[in-house]
A and B are shown apart, each in its own frame.
Chain A
Amino acid sequence: MTNILEVNNVSKFFGGVRANEEISLNIKKGSIVSLIGPNGSGKTTLFNSIVGTHPIDSGSIKFEEKELSKMLVHEIPPLGLLRTFQQTKIYGQMSCMMNMKISKKVSNSYKRMFDKLPKELDDEAEQILSFVGLYEKRHLRAGELSFGQQKLLELAMALMNEPKMLMLDEPTAGINPTLINGIIDRLIKINDKYKITLFVIEHNMRVVMNLAQHVFCMAHGKMLADGKPEEIKNNKLVIDAYLGAS
């Protein structure tokens, strides 16, 4: 199977701090991959580097053979690579439906700028909202949702955009534990129903074990180890890193 994302020797420094150092990883098309590591190990920085939030100091990032590292933030999603945020980012003053409708992928040509939103969008949006279980809240202002619900909404918005690959930053953080299994099921469903590659930062090992087919582990800005979940679980370095960190 081909690689959808290839990260080669990416380094990012903030002043003296080595946030990412010589990170390399490949992600296979259609797989579910998880990225773990103690806090401050540079996971989110890596996400930011990939989606162009900040320029990287060295290395290369290829998404379907296209070099991302020189692209601007808004140029990357149209390629089909999307990310969600650890601290949820949603359009607080607008209703959930609006949040969904805007997220629909449309070309940004000046011609299409002033299109009306097609009716069938409502249907699609409602489908996906109900899929993540926000259907009845759909007319509320997104800002009024709980943190967990906002996470779900952000996920739904991402789906609305029909990406090829989705990068989720701690999708289960702050979500009611009883719902977590539901989330896992849905993520898996997303993966095989919509054929979306998932790249998930996650702390909750249970989620990782049930979700990921392949796991990368970072520590202190370096790639520590990678492999099948079970291997990682029993990997000495990984355990030390976590213990060392916690």
Chain B
Amino acid sequence: MILIQAPFLNLQAILDGLMIGAIFALVAYGMALAWGVMNIINIAQGEFVILGGYITFMVYKLGFSPFFGAPLSFAFLFILGFLLYKLIVHRVVDRDMFISILATFGISIMIRQIMNLIFGSQVETALTGLGTIFLFDHNITIALVKFSSFVIAVAGALGVIYFMKTSKLGRAIRATAQNPRAARILGVDTEKVYAYTYAINAAICGLAGSLVVMTYTIHPYMGLPYTVRSFMIVIVAGLGNIPGVLASGLGLGALEELSAYAFGTEYRIGLVFLFLVIILVYRSKKLAKRREYLK
């Protein structure tokens, strides 16, 4: 059991986990936003991430540092999200949630294929040329790129939260989340709010994506795991519990890394999904004692 042979690896695993977890948390936060405000589950989440990755990759290909790509991805996905809302999503917002799941699933397929047709499906990655830091005489290794992406992710999340708290739009969004009808009566243009919410969600994913392409690798068909991870994170945290989302995002990251060390990377995805099911069942079992169920 390697984790016992080399105790430092545990710390290493947790660090790596937190750094990848930050990205999960960012994506999950986007999903929580769309879910909480518009009551839709956006299956296209993962595809937004990958697309964001490709935007940054393009910037990198043009010879700039991928860090310039991050804001660009953010902006581009914001616009795309807005358009998608106006074209498709607004038709499914007040419908049964399953409809929205399927509709966004359709969107995700389209995005995936179009990415494949535009960018090709080679595996791509963007190099930042950042170095590596060693701690405890080379027992702990931290790639600077990971660390910086961790910082950016956290900063991004906090930034959006701050925006939600202070800005006028942010307040409108929060009002709508609590009670759309009341908000409408108080003169909030919920249509507009929805549009911006979806756009912001997409933009957040775009940011996350540009971090993914810097830290890991992307190709058009790597979206789904991000979607399901973020769904799981939201479930674990509970809707509308933003700090919870960030926390459980980091937690999931750490858990995955540890499991990868313990059982080998192959079980990683499987474990994520299994964990999702276990969480769901556990929570509803608890509710069932009170003769209620997850709503």
Contact = CB atoms under 8 A, between A and B. Distances in A.
Q: Find out whether A and B make contact in their complex, taking CB atoms under 8 A apart as touching.
A: yes
Interface of A: 52-55, 72-73
9 contacts: A52-B291, A53-B291, A54-B290, A54-B291, A54-B292, A55-B290, A55-B291, A72-B291, A73-B291
A15 to B, nearest CB: 12
Nearest to B291: A54
A52 B291 CA distance: 9
Contacts of A54: 290-292
Interface in B257-294: 290-292
A72 B289 CA distance: 10
Contacts of A52: 291
Nearest to B289: A55
Contacts of B292: 54
Nearest to A73: B291
A54 B292 CA distance: 8
Interface string B179-217: 000000000000000000000000000000000000000
Contacts of A55: 290-291
A73 B293 CA distance: 14
Closest 8 CB pairs of A and B: A54-B291, A55-B291, A54-B290, A53-B291, A55-B290, A73-B291, A52-B291, A72-B291
Contacts of B291: 52-55, 72-73
Contacts of A73: 291
B57 to A, nearest CB: 49
Nearest to A52: B291
B252 to A, nearest CB: 30
Contacts of B290: 54-55
A240 B290 CA distance: 35
Interface in B143-194: none
A72 B290 CA distance: 11
B287 to A, nearest CB: 11
Nearest to A48: B291
A73 B288 CA distance: 12
A18 B290 CA distance: 17
Contacts of A72: 291
Contacts of A53: 291
Interface in B26-40: none
A138 B254 CA distance: 60
Nearest to A54: B291
B295 to A, nearest CB: 14
Nearest to A72: B291
A53 B293 CA distance: 12
B293 to A, nearest CB: 12
A99 B290 CA distance: 29
A134 to B, nearest CB: 28
A73 B290 CA distance: 12
A219 B38 CA distance: 38
A52 B292 CA distance: 11
A53 B290 CA distance: 9
B44 to A, nearest CB: 30
A54 B290 CA distance: 6
B278 to A, nearest CB: 25
A37 to B, nearest CB: 24
A50 B152 CA distance: 55
A72 B292 CA distance: 12
A183 to B, nearest CB: 31
A75 to B, nearest CB: 12
A53 B66 CA distance: 57
A73 B291 CA distance: 9
A168 to B, nearest CB: 22
A53 B292 CA distance: 9
A206 B292 CA distance: 37
A40 B292 CA distance: 21
Given A54-B291, A54-B292, 7 more contacts: A52-B291, A53-B291, A54-B290, A55-B290, A55-B291, A72-B291, A73-B291
A12 to B, nearest CB: 12
A173 to B, nearest CB: 22
A235 to B, nearest CB: 35
A55 B290 CA distance: 7
A69 to B, nearest CB: 12
A65 to B, nearest CB: 24
Nearest to B292: A54
A58 to B, nearest CB: 16
A55 B288 CA distance: 11
A148 B291 CA distance: 29
Interface string B75-111: 0000000000000000000000000000000000000
A1 to B, nearest CB: 33
B72 to A, nearest CB: 48
A86 B291 CA distance: 20
A53 B291 CA distance: 7
